[in-house]
Amino acid sequence: MKQLFMTLVALFAITGLVSAEKIELKSPNGKVTITVNTDEKLSFSVNALGKTLIKECVVGMDITELECGVNPALSSKKKNSVKETITPVVPLKFSTIPNEYNELVLKFKGNYSVEFRAYDDGAAYRFVLNKKRFNGIDVKNETMDVDFGGDYRVYMQQPGSFKTSFEESYSNKLLSEWKSDDRFASLPLLVDCGDGNKMLVSESDLRDYPGMFLQGNGGKVTATFPKVPIEFGDGGDRSVKILQEAMYIARTKSVRSFPWRYFFIAEKDTDLAECTMTIRLAEPNCLDDTSWIKPGQVSWEWWNGATPYGPDVNFVAGCNLETYKYYVDFAAKYGIEYILLDEGWAKSTRDPFTPNPKLDLHELIKYANSKNVKIMLWLTWLTVENNFSLFKTFKDWGVAAVKIDFMDRSDQWMVNFYERVVKEAAANQLAIDFHGAYKPSGLEITYPNLLTYEGVRGLEYMGGCQPKNSLFYPYIRNAVGPMDYTPGAMISMQPEKYVSRRPNSASIGTRAYQMALFIAFESGMQMLADSPTQYYNNDNCTKFMADVPVTWDETRALMGEAGQYAVIAKRKGNDWYLAAITAEKEREIELPLDFLGNGSYNMHFFKDGPNANSQAMDYREGTESVTSSKTLKIKLTRNGGYAASFKK
């Protein structure tokens, strides 16, 4: 009888029937619990904040000769605890980040494993393969089917297809309203879990794999991915047409880890603005020397038409040497680190080696160097791909950074393009700004010369860029990493009065709102979008904005609600900066200054003027000596703002 029992146990183990069990993993403080179920389908649930936040999440990968997660046969399990500190090369929120979690590694028959991490503020998992196939494997699909356990409202960007610049305005729906035939959503996605609690869904360590999208499905959410493109056609100077796709989403190595899928848990909205989950899950910096990487502000000419004017502009403005020397002089005066030459600096958008004959680029670089200003050049991704030697050429010329545009995809081929670019750029000590780009997914941590991404409805949308949409950015888009929004407009209007046309470009929102964005929004390259003429005419505002750092030692989101308003304080050394911004509702805020350190501070502030509700350029400026015991009273008009610095 004993022998028969042992035989049956062995048989069940072979078929995987006895491997089913529930395994619990708690976060270091015990507030987040992940329960993994290794039944017919691998799944997990998440409990936090006293309730179930994920009722069930079924996960799996369909790869060559194996369906990972289907009838999983557990061979081993191991738990581990990690407590460390991350020091980002480019600190956009914090100069040091605690990274503490408990980890569960489940190994399954078939040479794959799944790693889970329980943080005090979230949950994450990823698949790991160890199949050792010489020819690699095809990933036909990946499964992530999430039942949040309630009919929650979700906030998201919904592109029309996998070809997207990721610049859609935010929409929102109840999960029950998000049907399987509706548009899918790009990451990050924000879930309102009720009781003021939120959950942010995104990914990190995205490499050699497509970016994830999410699709509504009868009250649940399921993952979907672009397939690998295998045949291309001509699409002009900016892109290509995809003529044929493979039947798989990735062809890759058979020994590797896959991207982390994470669920950041926010007890209140302000927690989202301090989120560092993408950083904590990313592969660490791989560059030996990062001393040459210089985050900073950028004077950008496209939005303002490159047409400065006035008594000191005694030349015909445009894409010529005189104009760009003028921009260099402006940048040098205010201590702005870069000027960006956007489309037009080259004779042809397809040729990165022949500058516009009206522009002596080499003379300009020499002139900029003499003023301690760096040159940044714009290119389409297709031109980069067709001329990959340009990084070495640009280094030889003395170019410091490259803005690369119009990728508009996140399939495996394009994700690999991003990494090839930042790797080659780093080898030639060039910084990168990706436009027409998907959200930050950890590559900027591994290669910190990647200073910012677009993928946001920014100021270039003119009247289509409104505070009611931009007030989601601290809580969703900046929650996962830097964004190139391009603030700094000096012509400000309320939406019902808005009219604008380059070169007299204008923004929606008050002057104080526009200035506060330099503090509220994070980017390793923060653009000043307006003309030097406008900035010279508003010297006091310009000096304040140019003084705002782009890297920070500490970030504190003090008050706020996603899509409504935000009050954020940031510290650089001993100095603090404060931003308050609101959307369509006027607000009166009483803010204790207890975030300040000991001693007295000189507060320099800009606030909405009494007529900013109608004339959005109305503002008031002032200074005051304050201490941490003071309570600040802030009145924000609709689409308004407040910006202040505190210096000892």
Domain stop point among 263, 281, 299: 281
Q: Residue 247: inside a domain, yes or no?
A: yes
Q: What is the mean pLDDT of residues 113-137?
A: 96
Q: How far is CA 360 from CA 288, 299, 394, 404, in A?
A: 34, 19, 14, 22
Nearest one of 264, 139, 113, 277 to 210, comparing CA atoms:
139
Q: What is the pLDDT of residue 2?
A: 43
The total number of structural domains in the chain stands at 2
Q: What is the pLDDT of residue 338?
A: 98
Q: Residue 147: inside a domain, yes or no?
A: yes
pLDDT digits (tens, 9 = 90+) for 312-327: 999 999 999 999 999 9
Lowest mean pLDDT among 1-10, 443-452, 462-471, 502-511: 1-10
Q: What is the mean pLDDT of residues 556-571?
A: 98
Q: Checking DSSP bridges between strand 619-626 and strand 601-608, what pairing results, if any? A: antiparallel
Query: Three-state DSSP class for 9?
Result: helix
Q: What is the mean pLDDT of residues 613-640?
A: 98
Q: Residue 313: inside a domain, yes or no?
A: no
Catalytic residue among 168, 301, 460, 522: 460
What CA–CA distance (Å, rounded) separates 394 from 399?
A: 5
- Is 20 a residue whose pLDDT tops 90? no
Q: Checking DSSP bridges between strand 619-626 and strand 374-380, what pairing results, if any? A: unpaired
DSSP 288: S
Q: What is the pLDDT of residue 15?
A: 41
Q: What is the mean pLDDT of residues 35-41?
A: 97
Contact 459, 507 (CB under 8 A): yes
Q: What is the pLDDT of residue 433?
A: 98
Q: CB-based burial of residue 172 (10 Å sphere; 0-12 exposed, 13-18 middle, 19+ buried)?
A: middle
Q: What is the mean pLDDT of residues 118-126?
A: 98
Nearest one of 459, 455, 473, 85 to 272, comparing CA atoms:
473
pTM confidence score: 0.96
Q: Residue 565: inside a domain, yes or no?
A: yes
- Is 573 a residue whose pLDDT tops 50? yes
Confidence of residue 126 (pLDDT cuts 50, 70, 90): very high
- Is 10 a residue whose pLDDT tops 90? no
Indicate if 590 belongs to the active site. Answer: no
Nearest one of 475, 401, 391 to 434, comparing CA atoms:
401
pLDDT digits (tens, 9 = 90+) for 190-249: 999 999 999 999 999 999 999 999 999 989 999 999 999 999 999 999 999 999 999 999
Q: Residue 338: inside a domain, yes or no?
A: no
Percent of the residues in the chain that have a pLDDT greater than 90, as a whole number: 96
Output 234 or 7, whichever has higher pLDDT: 234
Mean pLDDT score across all residues of the chain: 96
What CA–CA distance (Å, rounded) separates 391 from 449?
A: 13
Question: Quick count: other Cβ atoms within 10 Å of Cβ 395?
Answer: 15
- Is 534 a residue whose pLDDT tops 70? yes
Q: Residue 24: inside a domain, yes or no?
A: yes
Tokens 């036909």, residue located: 140
Domain stop point among 227, 260, 281: 281
Query: Three-state DSSP class for 309?
Result: coil
**If residue 535 lies in a helix (H) or strand (E), which one and from where to where?**
helix 532-537
- Residues in contact with 531: Cβ distance below 8 Å, sequence separation at least 6, in sequence order: 301, 304, 305, 307, 308, 503
Confidence of residue 132 (pLDDT cuts 50, 70, 90): confident
- Is 8 a residue whose pLDDT tops 60? no
Question: Quick count: other Cβ atoms within 10 Å of Cβ 548?
Answer: 19
Q: What is the pLDDT of residue 62?
A: 98
Residue 23 forms beta bridges with which residues? Answer: 36
Domain stop point among 281, 314, 333: 281
Q: What is the pLDDT of residue 218?
A: 85
- CATH code, domain with 189: 2.70.98.10
- Is 4 a residue whose pLDDT tops 70? no
Tokens of 62: 């369909």
Q: Residue 511: inside a domain, yes or no?
A: yes
- Is 567 a residue whose pLDDT tops 80? yes
Could you write out the DSSP letters of every residue in 212-275? PEEEEETTEEEEE-PPPEEEEEE--SS-EEEEEE-SSSEEE-SEEE--EEEEEEESSHHHHTT-
Confidence of residue 6 (pLDDT cuts 50, 70, 90): very low
Q: What is the pLDDT of residue 9?
A: 40
- CATH code, domain with 588: 2.60.40.1180
Backbone angles phi, psi at 68, to 5 degrees: -65, 130
- Is 11 a residue whose pLDDT tops 70? no
- Is 17 a residue whose pLDDT tops 60? no
Indicate if 234 belongs to the active site. Answer: no
What CA–CA distance (Å, rounded) separates 642 from 619?
A: 9
First to last CA, the chain: 83
C-alpha gyration radius of the chain: 26
Percent of the residues in the chain that have a pLDDT greater than 70, as a whole number: 97
Q: Residue 449: inside a domain, yes or no?
A: no
Residue numbers of the domain that contains 66: 19-281
Catalytic residue among 269, 342, 405, 433: 405
pLDDT digits (tens, 9 = 90+) for 407-430: 999 999 999 999 999 999 999 999
Nearest one of 209, 14, 247 to 109, comparing CA atoms:
14
